[in-house]
Structure 1
């Protein structure tokens, strides 16, 4: 359950469901469709940058246009988009991600038994 009393969505089921929804409505297929799915991640990262610039008011012509909550939402979009892109490459999304996370964690923090 979430803090709001509603059921929490299962991350990996949600990724599969979003992937299936995108696949069903995909106007461009094949290699080009795959490349466009990967490029979507760059678009989302650009939206994070836009939100950060807007949150600090870096553009004097526009001033403050975003909040830090907007930045949080854009970061979530990056994570979701990346996981859906990974699902596009492999149906073993969870296993692939978790194995990579373990390697990065061990490389950065040392082997688990040392923690």
Structure 2
């Protein structure tokens, strides 16, 4: 596993945690605020999609699909920073294990051999 992205995520998480701690914000409140930051990033992704499709008559085409991609990447980065702030150095292993579990579940949906039998057939 390439650990370089997780090293950067860890450094960001440590920075944000130290800044919040210096402001007197307790750990669980920091986590809560960080999860809200994920929601903010998702909203910005949605706003970019609306702008790319030009569905807001007041703004027209205000974004490109590259903007959407950047906002989705911001959402992913913010999510991984949040996970690292909650779990510390255990975040990469936790993420990899959960990704493996979810992938096995969803990829099995595309494999007809692993589909559950139809009842009553």
TM-score range, shorter chain: 0.7 to 0.9
| CA positional deviation for 1:85 | 0.6
C-alpha displacement at 1:28, in angstroms? 5.3
Considering only aligned residues, what root-mean-square deviation do their CA atoms show, in Å?
A: 1.6
Normalising by structure 2, what TM-score? 0.80
Compare CA radii of gyration and give the structure with the larger one.
2
Residue pair 2:51, 2:64 contacting (<8 A) in 1 also? yes
Q: Distance in 1 between matches of 2:39 and 2:45?
A: 10
Match of 1:23 among 17, 36, 54: 17
Q: Which runs of 5+ in 2 are unaligned?
A: 114-121
> Could you say which structure has the higher helix fraction?
2
User: Which range is displaced more, 31-40 or 69-78?
Assistant: 31-40
Structure 1 segments (4+ residues) deviating >6 Å: none
Q: Does the Cα contact within 8 Å between 2:84 and 2:91 map onto a contact in 1? A: yes
Instruction: Indicate yes or no: 2:87 matched with 1:90.
Output: yes
2:34 maps to 1:40: no
Other-structure match for 2:52: 55
Unaligned 5+ runs, structure 1: 1-8
